[in-house]
Structure 1
Amino acid sequence: MEWYVVGLGMLGLLMGFIIIGLPIPFALAAASIPFLLDILSLKSSLVTVELKLWGVWFDYILLAVPLFVFLGELIGRSSIGPNLYWFMHSKLPLRGAAAYGSIGACAGFGAVCGSSMVGSLTIGGVALPQMLKLGYGKRLSSGVLAAGGTLSVLLPPSLILLFYGIVTDQSIGSLFIAGVVPGLVLVTMFFIIVAVWGKVAPQDIPGQESIQPIPWLVALSALTPVMIIGLVITISIYAGIATPTEAAAVSSVITLIMAFCFGGLRWDGLLESLKSTMQTMGYLGLLLSSGVLFGFVMTYHQIPQQFTQLFVEMDLSPYAVLAMIVVFYIILGMFLEPVSMTFITLPTLFPLVHAAGFDLIWFGVVYTITMEIAVLTPPVGLNLFVIQSLARDDVTIGDVIVGCVPFIFALVILLLLLVGLPDTALWLPELME
């Protein structure tokens, strides 16, 4: 069977199963099995499926994923996350302190979490009602918090960068550190957007905010855990002391201790964190397993290699190839969430990026930014619905979408900056080497 027949057949089946409502993990597996049976007997196919399933669950590197998810859940269910926002808000003597504080809290939370949705849910759950109560505009409030959550997938540790490294076989540590400078640039751009918004629509930012100052002891109980966890993760990985999996395990234990000692976590909160982590990993585990099976069938038929060769023969410029890939991901992101996109498309497209001459560490940051845009674009923008669900009676989904538009432009500008100045992402990893 020709490679393009297999490729189009698998893609057609996958889209068909998704359209009729089949969950993506099952859609991936169902689209793979007919073509798997074409190359193997029924008995061999069953053995292959079993091996692919168990191979994912026993992958040492992937052990970091549930650990980072658990870490984020612990912080989200303790008072560390809310107190971090309280500190950022009350200690900023600026007009618009709550908006700036939300961005800062999302960035700080992102430095220990790695999940965009968890970041938006944790900080947004505290900040959105407070901002609306203080008199901030609905669009500004919801836009800041939906976009602020995306900082969690650019600043290390990032689950998207972790998945990207696994699929493309790139250094997780180098990918994490490559996201630091672009992440800080993005935080700065978000601050500028809030400042400009305050000038263009001053009615959206109250002139004076009455907020109870946070006691320094409570502030330290929020800042200290985040700083310690962030330092443990970054220093242990970049200094070669620990692998990302070991760093995730150690930081999870430290987070658990500090959440009990300083964050007010109790046994019911711990049980809810474990339950939520298992629910998340149940879905992610099935998605990873079926994604590996899907990739195995494509690789057997050499679809990624043939697809790359096809584009090479078209003699397109590297930047034309890059532009096509970025536009493809932005459009696809309107309908699929980032983790699914990673395992469905990346095995086919990253060889094309490599053949075009781009650095795969650099492209990892570019790819992650496109995923940030994906979670902010309707109709399936996860962060849009997370934020809107926090204030259904006060904020419409339209308010959230309009509020995110300036921040999406900031992400596009960051993409252009990375294309024009690749060292924005590569300077720090090269310096660390």
Structure 2
Amino acid sequence: MSPVLIGLSGIGVLLILLMVRIPVAFAMFAVGFAGIWHLNGLQAAIGLLSSETFALASNAELIVVPLFILMGNVASVTGMSRKLYEAAYATIGRVRGGLAAATVIGCGGFAALSGSSVASALTMGRTALSEMDRFGYSPRLSTGVVAAGGTLGILIPPSTGFVIYAILTQQSIGRLFMAGVIPGLLLLTAFLVTVLILCAIFPEMGPPGPATDRAQKIRAFLGAVPILLVILTTIGGIYSGLFSPTEAAGIGAAMVIVYGLLTGALDWRGFWRAARSSTVTTASVMLILIAAHLINPFIALSHLPSEVSRLLVSADLGMYGTLLVILAVYLVLGCFLEGLAMLVLTLPIFLPVILQLGIDPIWFGVLVVLTLEMGLISPPVGINVFVVKSVARHVALIDIFRGVLPFWFAMLLTLLLLVAVPQLSLWLPGLM
């Protein structure tokens, strides 16, 4: 059997393992180890497993992962994420669809703290769904907006998706964070416009909420000041070059902890819960990265990347045609695979192609991460949909999927806009 066929067989086995719900890291460990053993011998497989594990675990850049995760978890425990939602709710809650729009803004704010789509959907689901139910919002709109709004967590920096992409492609984490700012704001705006259009066509979906007086608005805005200060400090510090992404993560985590202690919102039990959750999430991410550094050499040894590159280049589709084909593959895979698994599985194959075509890897990273977001609300996997279902048990799963459909198309339009205008992603990194 030729190396290319061995590589294709390995990917096929990996897909089967993932579909039967074998954990991503363990599936990649098994396929990567067995593949290298078959192509290069048992000694090479054992040596690579030990060396890559140590090299990755000692990579100082990866400290950014647990620190940003801790920052998001502490912010959730102290209620900082809820404050931004309350400020948006006090401002636009009285207009038709205002509570749903406030939820989108709240999701965007929490995404800028946690970098996790699942955490954003879960936190805002617990906060916002009961309010929208209380004021008679359509379950399709309320659950759809929470599931879709949660996807902002993987695009608006700090983003775990960008960190993993940067590690796998050896790109700058800081430049990727900056590249995600404008696309993240564009997507947030697209979600807001989608809410307004839905409520204009179907007024019964989002009845107006209660009016608030000036004192309530001021109190709500003052409550949101700490979370805005943390966001501006971390992202602004990276953009200005004042500190690195790792230092920004440490400063951000320290700020939310100090806020929790000063306000009394963080006790020992809450901190322990946030730290334990951060440790579990970090361990999962690290296992996936270590497994990625085992399966990537197997794919390289199979010569599969060079064969795919040759086929795509020989098809003479041009830069944009090839790019659209690759993004279409991501959209299809997103219906069946978890996002991090897609990154690990496909980047070793597609990265040589986009570099050969002269496509900026930072721009490509933004496009890939956005397509991963779309997978979070695409049937049948749609992780964010199942997260919202766990909170809104009274809403049928099919209704949640119907609710996210307009937002999925809003994401598709945003993706096409970012493909057509690369500078929307590259302008801020170019100024760093």
Could you say which TM-score interval applies, normalised by the shorter chain? over 0.9
- In the other structure, the counterpart of 2:311 is 310
Runs of 4+ residues over 6 Å off in structure 1: 210-213
Counterpart AA for 2:366? V
Query: In 2, Cα distance between the equivalents of 1:384 and 1:284?
Result: 21
Query: In 2, Cα distance between the equivalents of 1:6 and 1:44?
Result: 17
Counterpart AA for 2:389? Q
SS of the aligned residue for 1:87 comes to: helix
* 1:220 is aligned to 2:222: yes
- In the other structure, the counterpart of 1:24 is 24
**How well do the aligned residues superpose, as a CA RMSD in angstroms?**
2.0
- In the other structure, the counterpart of 1:61 is 61
Query: In 2, Cα distance between the equivalents of 1:273 and 1:186?
Result: 29
Query: In 2, Cα distance between the equivalents of 1:237 and 1:205?
Result: 38
SS of the aligned residue for 2:59 comes to: coil
| 1:34-433 equivalences in 2 (<5 Å) | 34-92=34-92, 93-209=94-210, 214=216, 216-217=218-219, 219-221=221-223, 223-262=224-263, 264-393=265-394, 395-430=395-430, 432-433=431-432
Give how far 1:316 is off: 2.5
Query: In 2, Cα distance between the equivalents of 1:131 and 1:83?
Result: 17
Q: CA offsets, 1:296-352, max 9 Å, x none?
A: 222234432332133223323222211211111111111111111111211211221
SS of the aligned residue for 1:95 comes to: coil
CA contact (8 A) 1:79 1:265 kept: no
Distance 1:101 1:208, change over 3 A: closer
Query: In 2, Cα distance between the equivalents of 1:239 and 1:263?
Result: 32
TM-score computed with the length of structure 1 as normaliser? 0.94
SS of the aligned residue for 1:91 comes to: helix
Query: In 2, Cα distance between the equivalents of 1:270 and 1:176?
Result: 27
Query: In 2, Cα distance between the equivalents of 1:263 and 1:217?
Result: 18
Q: CA offsets, 1:254-312, max 9 Å, x none?
A: 11111222371211111111111111122222111111100122223443233213322
Q: CA offsets, 1:370-419, max 9 Å, x none?
A: 011000101111110111111102x1211211111111111111111112
Q: Which piece of structure 1 moves more, 7-16 or 207-216?
A: 207-216
Q: CA offsets, 1:166-215, max 9 Å, x none?
A: 21122222211111112222222111111111111111112443779857
Counterpart AA for 2:176? L
CA contact (8 A) 1:13 1:31 kept: yes
SS of the aligned residue for 2:114 comes to: coil
CA contact (8 A) 1:119 1:149 kept: yes
Query: In 2, Cα distance between the equivalents of 1:260 and 1:299?
Result: 50
Query: In 2, Cα distance between the equivalents of 1:215 and 1:204?
Result: 25
SS of the aligned residue for 1:334 comes to: coil
CA contact (8 A) 1:79 1:263 kept: no
CA contact (8 A) 1:81 1:109 kept: yes
Query: In 2, Cα distance between the equivalents of 1:349 and 1:335?
Result: 19
Query: In 2, Cα distance between the equivalents of 1:41 and 1:377?
Result: 40
Query: In 1, Cα distance between the equivalents of 2:219 and 2:211?
Result: 21
Q: Which piece of structure 1 moves more, 205-214 or 192-201?
A: 205-214
CA contact (8 A) 2:377 2:408 kept: yes
Q: Percent identity?
A: 34
Distance 1:391 1:20, change over 3 A: closer
Counterpart AA for 2:59? D
Q: Which piece of structure 1 moves more, 85-94 or 153-162?
A: 85-94
Structure 2, unmatched stretches of 5+, are none
Give how far 1:217 is off: 4.8
Q: Which piece of structure 1 moves more, 128-137 or 298-307?
A: 298-307
Counterpart AA for 2:233? V
CA contact (8 A) 1:28 1:291 kept: yes
CA contact (8 A) 1:87 1:214 kept: no
Give how far 1:43 is off: 4.1
Query: In 2, Cα distance between the equivalents of 1:422 and 1:198?
Result: 32
CA contact (8 A) 2:104 2:188 kept: yes
Query: In 2, Cα distance between the equivalents of 1:297 and 1:263?
Result: 51
Query: In 2, Cα distance between the equivalents of 1:109 and 1:135?
Result: 25
Counterpart AA for 2:35? F
CA contact (8 A) 2:120 2:153 kept: yes
SS of the aligned residue for 1:112 comes to: helix
Counterpart AA for 2:261? F
Query: In 2, Cα distance between the equivalents of 1:269 and 1:211?
Result: 32
Q: Which piece of structure 1 moves more, 15-24 or 106-115?
A: 15-24
CA contact (8 A) 2:99 2:209 kept: no
Counterpart AA for 1:17? L
Question: Alignment length, in residue pairs?
Answer: 430
Query: In 2, Cα distance between the equivalents of 1:41 and 1:426?
Result: 43
Q: Which piece of structure 1 moves more, 339-348 or 39-48?
A: 39-48
Counterpart AA for 1:247? A
Q: CA offsets, 1:143-181, max 9 Å, x none?
A: 111111112222211111121122112222221111111
Counterpart AA for 1:74? V
